[in-house]
Structure 1
C-alpha cells in the first residue's frame, strides 16, 4: 500500500489489518511511517519509499518477497497535487506531479507484478477532479484521468492471470492532503466549502474510503474488474437538493 502513512492510505491499512491482512505500507516520511505502524502493530511493516523512485519500489518489492507470501492486494494510493492556475504552471511542477501520480502508479504496479498471487486484486486511487473541472487543478485532474485509463487497460491485460483491477474515486475526504491545499489556518474553510457542493452535505471520512477499498480488494467483488467506484456523497451523479425542481402547487 503506497501512501499508507496518513489519510486514506492509513485508514485503509488499519482496516485491512483488522480484517487479518499483513500490510506493507510506504511513505516518504519515516516519522509518519513509524507512527502509522504503531497504530496497527505487528500486522504492519513500514518502508520508507518514494513512488517516483524505481529503486525505492524495487526495495519494497524485495522486502515483500522476503516474507514469502507474495501479494493478494495492491493499493496504489500515493499521490498529490496543488492548485495552480493555467498560465502559471511550470515545467518542474508538471513533471513532478505527473512523475508521482502517473509514473508512481505505473511503476508501483509494474514492480509488484511478479509478486501478485493468482486471484489478487489491484486497487488504484482516482479522483472526482478528473470529472468535475475544478479550476486551477488541471494538472492533478489530468493525472487522475490517466489513472482511470490505466485501470481499464490493466484490467484487460491481467484477466489471464486472474487478477482484477479497479479504481476507487474519492470525492472530498477529510485528510491532511485535502486540508493542506488551503492557505495556513483555512483548512476548515476549505472543508466547509467542499461540503456545500456535495448532495449529502458533508465531506467524506477516510474510513469510508477504506471500506470501499476493502470491498474492491475482497472476494465480495469477485465479478468486478475494470470499473470505478465513486465514494463522493453523490457529487458526481446527483443534483444538489436546491437544484431539484419542485412540483407546482
Structure 2
C-alpha cells in the first residue's frame, strides 16, 4: 500500500537507464515564448503585473544597499518554483519540487552564496548580527550559539517546508482517490467535490510556497548587506 502511494514521487522511471522524470522541471520553459509576441496576450500582461509587484516588494526588502538587478534572482526563483508546483498538479507529470534533490539544491546554493558574500565582504556586520542589541554579557555566548544554529538550519528549513507541503497535498489527493472504488454513486459525487476543493487548496499552496521561499531568500540576502 505504502509503495503504491509513494510511487508517484519515485524519480527512478527511466528509459535506457536515463531518469527522464526530471525533464518535467523544464516544462515551464514552454511558457517563455509568449513573452516574445509582438502583441502581448492577457496572460503575459497579467504575469507582467505580478512580476512588477514582486520586483517592488523585493526591492523594498533588500534595501538601498542592494545591487541593481538583484531582485531578478528572486523573481526567477519564484517563477521556477511556481511553474513546477503547478505543473505537478496535472496527472502523469512528475513534481520535482517534492524532492529534496531539487529544493535542497536551490536553498543550499543560495544560502552558501549569501554566507560567502557576507563573511568575505561584511564580516563585521555578520559578527554584530550574531548578538542582538542589548544582550547581557553573560548571555552573549549562548546567543552566538543559538544564532549560529538558526543560521545553519536555514537551507534545511526552506527545503523541507517546500517538500513537505508538496508531498502532503499529493498524498491526500491520492489517498482519497483510491477509496472511490468501494463507494456508492452519491458518495463518489461527494468525493469528487472534495477532490475539487482540495485541488483548489493545492493550487493556493503552490502559489504560497513559491512566494514564501522567495521572500525568505530575499530576507536572508538582506541580512548580509
TM-score normalised by the chain length of structure 2:
0.28
* Larger helix fraction of residues: 2
Question: Would you tell me which structure has more strand in proportion to its own residues?
Answer: 1
TM-score with structure 1 setting the length: 0.26
Higher relative contact order (CA 8 A, sep 6+): 2
